[in-house]
Amino acid sequence: MKILGIETSCDECASAVVENGKNILSNVVATQIPFHAIYEGIVPEIASRMHTDWIYGVVKEALEKANLSPNEIDGVAVTSQPGMLGSLLVGLSFAKAFAWSQKIPFIAVDHIFAHLYAVQLTETTPIEYPFLGLLVSGGHSIICKVDAFDTITILGTTIDDAAGEAFDKVSKHYGFGYPGGLAIDKLSQKGDSSAFNFPMPNLYKGEHRYDLSYSGLKNAVINQLEQFRIKEETLPEDIAASFQKTAIEILLRSLFRVIEDTNLTTVVAGGGVAANSYLRSRLAEKKHFNCIFPPLSLCGDNGAMIAGLGYQYLKRNEVSSFNALASSRVKGFKKYVKK
Ligand code: KG4
Ligand code: ZN
């Protein structure tokens, strides 16, 4: 079964064809990064307008690369939540129109489930549920228990900024480049991560045991640099490396607590921040659990993870109505509170 996947929730206009939830026949990602870079952040209105201009060409290219015509597609899956509303609506409307014109099933999927599904596209043997999910992107920082491709329990999440957002804001402040995560990751390679001793949040009690917080770190790096200085000189690469180390250690501290408490030993990472080299190297050191990362090409937003996830719904005969709406936020995810 060949599923066309469409993803326009943020600044990537993406489409892919995936066979049987596994074999990627094509995966086209048209990034808008250069168009937002001058503003050092995503401008929602520009994003949705560019998706409108690009979506036809991107889907056409995905079909051509897969060597398929529209009537050879068995279903269309699209991100309907969460994301920027105007951008989501472009992909959602296009997917509905494609499915309606071809008289094929239409499946609206959740972007978070899709990021957690990405690893299933490239691992040789399917990863068995349950496992722990570490979803870290520009909009989300979630540590969860994943019981099925569509069932997760959120154990920990950020109480303020998302991890990727912190990278982006620090980078914007110091002019390190856009998008911030990749720029800081690269700059950090030349830096001394012990040049500044930035603070970690004190979220270890009660219901916040697994939660994350980035506003204190962000504030320290941007407004209180002097206070946390260890070395005398202020080098950009040292700021980047010290920030990156602390930002990732915040994530890891919560993740390690969850591993200890749940005894689940498989962690599946996803989202743009899962591309971070320090995060990858820190988790590679650990022998008592296995952390599986998608390849870099599937960490960020892409259509293949959407198509793969859509196939799983279709296999269960679950399709969406053409009345499906876009939603900027995810409803119904409750945080588990440890008693
Ligand atoms: O998953 P994604 O492409 O889009 C969202 O759903 O948000 O994630 C984008 C985020 C951005 O905040 C970007 O700065 C961050 O992922 N990112 C990174 C790296 N590459 C991208 N953060 C840390 N290290 C990286 N190498
Ligand atoms: Zn994403």
Average pLDDT over residues 139-162: 94
Chain centroid to Cα 234, Å, comes to: 32
- Residue 210 pLDDT greater than 70, yes or no: yes
- DSSP state for residue 200 in the 8-state scheme: P
CA–CA separation, 39 and 17 (whole Å): 33
Dist. CA 309 → ligand 2 center (Å)? 14
Strands 12-19 and 106-110: unpaired
Atom of ligand 1 nearest to the CA of 186: 26
Q: Is the pLDDT of residue 305 over 70?
A: yes
Output the 3-class SS for 108-135.
EEEHHHHHHHHHHHCCCCCCCCCEEEEE
Q: How many CA atoms lie within 13 A of 194 on its CB side?
A: 0
pLDDT value, residue 330: 77
Using CA atoms, how far apart are residues 41 and 10, in angstroms rounded to an integer? 11
In the chain, % helix, strand, coil (3-state, to 5) comes to 45, 20, 35
Q: What is the pLDDT of residue 311?
A: 98
Q: What is the DSSP letter of 336?
A: P
Mean pLDDT of 86-104: 98
Q: Is the pLDDT of residue 94 over 50?
A: yes
In ligand 1, the atom with minimum distance to the C-alpha of 111 is 6
The whole-angstrom separation of Cα 248 and Cα 139 is 16
Determine the Cα–Cα distance for residues 101 and 99; give it in Å rounded to an integer.
Answer: 6
Residue with tokens 């190297």: 281
Whether the pTM exceeds 0.85: the reply is yes
The atom of ligand 1 lying closest to the CA of 279 is 24
Element (H, E) at 36: helix 33-37
Each residue's pLDDT tens digit, 222-257 = 999 999 999 888 999 999 999 999 999 999 999 999
Per-residue burial over 308-321, b if 16 or more Cβ lie within 10 Å, else e, is bbbbbbbeeeebbe
Q: pLDDT confidence of 338, banded at 50, 70, 90?
A: very low
Backbone φ, ψ for residue 29 (5° rounding) = -125, 110
pLDDT at residue 337, as a whole number: 47
Q: Average pLDDT of the chain?
A: 94
> Could you read off the pLDDT of 248-279 as tens digits, one per residue?
999 999 999 999 999 899 999 999 999 999 99
Residue with the smallest CA separation from ligand 1 atom 18 is: 181
Nearest of 123, 105, 55 to residue 311 by alpha carbon: 105
What pLDDT score was predicted for residue 335? Answer: 56
Domains and CATH numbers, the chain: 2-117+299-315 (3.30.420.40), 128-293 (3.30.420.40)
Q: What percent of the chain has pLDDT over 90?
A: 87
Q: Which pLDDT value is given to residue 140?
A: 87
14-71 pLDDT tens trace? 999 999 999 999 999 999 999 998 988 899 999 999 999 999 999 999 999 999 999 9
Cα 323 to averaged position of ligand 1 atoms, centre (Å): 31
Q: Mean pLDDT throughout 195-199?
A: 97
* Residue 104 CB partners (closer than 8 Å, separation 6+): 73, 74, 75, 76
- Ligand number nearest CA of 303 is 2
Cβ(303)–Cβ(14) below 8 Å: yes
Ligand 1 atom at shortest distance from the alpha carbon of 9: 6
Q: How far is CA 211 from CA 15, 53, 125, 183, in A?
A: 33, 39, 31, 26
pLDDT at 307 over 50: yes
Predicted local distance difference test score (pLDDT) of residue 212: 94
The yes-or-no verdict on residue 331 having pLDDT over 70 is no
Residues with CB under 6 A from ligand 1: 10, 137-139, 164, 167-168, 179-182, 185, 271-273, 275-276, 300-301
Judge contact between 15 and 58, C-beta under 8 A: yes
> What is the distance in A from the centroid of ligand 2 to the CA of 27?
15
